[in-house]
Amino acid sequence: MSHLGYPRLMPFDRDHVLRTAAALLTRKSTATMDEVAKAAGISRATLHRHFAGRDALVRALEALGIAECEGALERARLDEGPATEGVRRLVREIEPAAGLLAFLYSENQLFEGDGQNAGWERIDARVTALFRRGQDAGEFRIDLSPAWLTEALYGLLAAGAWSVLDGKVARNDFTFMIAELLLGGALRREES
Amino acid sequence: MSHLGYPRLMPFDRDHVLRTAAALLTRKSTATMDEVAKAAGISRATLHRHFAGRDALVRALEALGIAECEGALERARLDEGPATEGVRRLVREIEPAAGLLAFLYSENQLFEGDGQNAGWERIDARVTALFRRGQDAGEFRIDLSPAWLTEALYGLLAAGAWSVLDGKVARNDFTFMIAELLLGGALRREES
DNA sequence: CCGCTGTGAGACATTCATGTCTCATCTGGG
DNA sequence: CCCAGATGAGACATGAATGTCTCACAGCGG
């Protein structure tokens, strides 16, 4: 597996580099530019040719995360049908990006003070609106604010992603666990 | 507020330093030793006299977090009464340490590979046992594993702590929000 | 065949946090 | 009063990551 015999010159694949970096930084948020480059199979020089520095790389990852989120929001069609099903679709669609989001979730603590990226605000607004719609429709309880439900969703996504990475839970259970806990909670229902 | 007129020599207060460091690192996880020292009102030299380095400081914070957790576990008396009330008591008791735990929660991603501190394993075991007891008693649903409920609790505690820091939710709602979401979920109940 | 473009490898300077050290000063006890 | 202990301030060396640069070479098109 180490070398395939062709240490040839690879053309630069921006998307591949970003996704590899996301996967690495999710596991090791302090990885150096050199480690990122090696993980992506390119040289540090090339990495630096395309991303001015670590900040630029993280910002590109943030943009990727925002794009993935907005794609998931579109595919989940949050405006259609019951809000409950919208939440389930959202969790399902966002699952592939959960690792990247978990990294950004812990990294974004640094962005306080300089006004966070407008992209996150738009995403927040759409998710919050979903929970508010569910409350107005009588599906969701009204004693938990939409803002908190949104933050709780993020926290559960990150917890789920890390739990999968640590092998504490099975990847196949990811969507079910998060959606079920967020929607129904831990308490057993009295079945009708 | 800047100077009280007495820039005198302060005796070293280990607990005060640790708690100040925890508060700072919760907001800015990359704070330098110099920033930690200034925040605690001591010189970098003194800080380094008592903590061999950043690793030692983080480890001391980890030990503090473990101690706070175990204290909360004791006070919550998880073995008494319904597991549901045990969860509520645990969240209430652990609230003062939530910021520190949120920091350690994101920092502990680094500890992978070298075998994490045995203290966390003990805490994990006690919390997991609480959820399992609730399942056995018929209080909690059985299609969500105790391990996931434990991880979800950590994730919600971190999300709650960061939300309070960001001013997105009120500090007074912390315990209620976390316990209610974890136990009951977002769905509205059919009241009897 | 030749030249252009982009890459890999590595050298190099710079920056920054860290860790160690010295020295002056303050505090408290004998 | 004087000495021991501990702190604050700052200088200094170290190491790591970063950012910049050069050079050789592979691919690709004319």
DSSP code per residue over B55-120: HHHHHHHHHHHHHHHHHHHHHHTTTSS-HHHHHHHHHHHHGGGHHHHHHHHHHGGGGTTS---HHH
Average model confidence (pLDDT) across chain A:
91
φ/ψ of A114, rounded to 5, equals -105, 20
Distance A18 CA to C25 C1' (A): 54
- Choose among A30, A145, A185: nearest Cβ to B185: A185
Reference A127, options A176, A164, A177, A74; nearest CA is A74
Q: Does B166 touch chain A (CB under 8 A)?
A: yes
Cβ within 8 Å of A, B 34-73: none
Percent of chain A with pLDDT over 90: 82
B61-184 carries CATH number 3.30.70.120 = no
Tokens of residue B10, six digits: 């302060």
- Confidence band for A138, pLDDT divided at 50, 70 and 90: very high
Residue B12 Cβ < 7 Å to strand D:
yes
The pLDDT score that the predictor gives to residue B4 is 41
Its sign, for the CA torsion A105, A108, A113, A118, is: negative
Nearest CA in chain B to A138: B188
A14-110+120-184 carries CATH number 3.40.190.10 = no
Distance from C-alpha of A143 to C-alpha of A146, rounded to nearest angstrom: 9
A172 neighbourhood in chain B, CB within 8 Å: none
Cβ contact, residue pair A186, B162, below 8 Å: no
Q: Which of residues 150-179 of A touch strand C (CB under 7 A)?
A: none
Q: Which CATH architecture describes the domain B10-51?
A: Orthogonal Bundle (1.10)
pLDDT digits (tens, 9 = 90+) for A8-66: 667 788 999 999 999 999 999 999 999 999 999 999 999 999 999 999 999 999 999 99
- Reply yes or no on whether the pLDDT at A115 is more than 80: no
Identify the segments of chain B with pLDDT beneath 50. 1-6, 192
The pLDDT score that the predictor gives to residue A9 is 67
Distance from C-alpha of B94 to C-alpha of B92, rounded to nearest angstrom: 6
- Reply yes or no on whether the pLDDT at A6 is more than 70: no
Q: Does B180 touch chain A (CB under 8 A)?
A: yes
Q: Does A29 touch chain B (CB under 8 A)?
A: yes
Distance from C-alpha of B38 to C-alpha of B33, rounded to nearest angstrom: 9
The pLDDT score that the predictor gives to residue B2 is 38
The pLDDT score that the predictor gives to residue B12 is 82
- Reply yes or no on whether the pLDDT at A112 is more than 90: no
The pLDDT score that the predictor gives to residue B189 is 84
The pLDDT score that the predictor gives to residue B117 is 80
φ/ψ of A123, rounded to 5, equals -65, -45
Helical (H) or strand (E) element with A61: helix A54-76
Distance B46 CA to C22 C1' (A): 14
Cβ contact, residue pair B156, A160, below 8 Å: no
pLDDT digits (tens, 9 = 90+) for A151-168: 999 999 999 999 999 999
Residue boundaries of the structural domains of chain A: 14-110+120-184
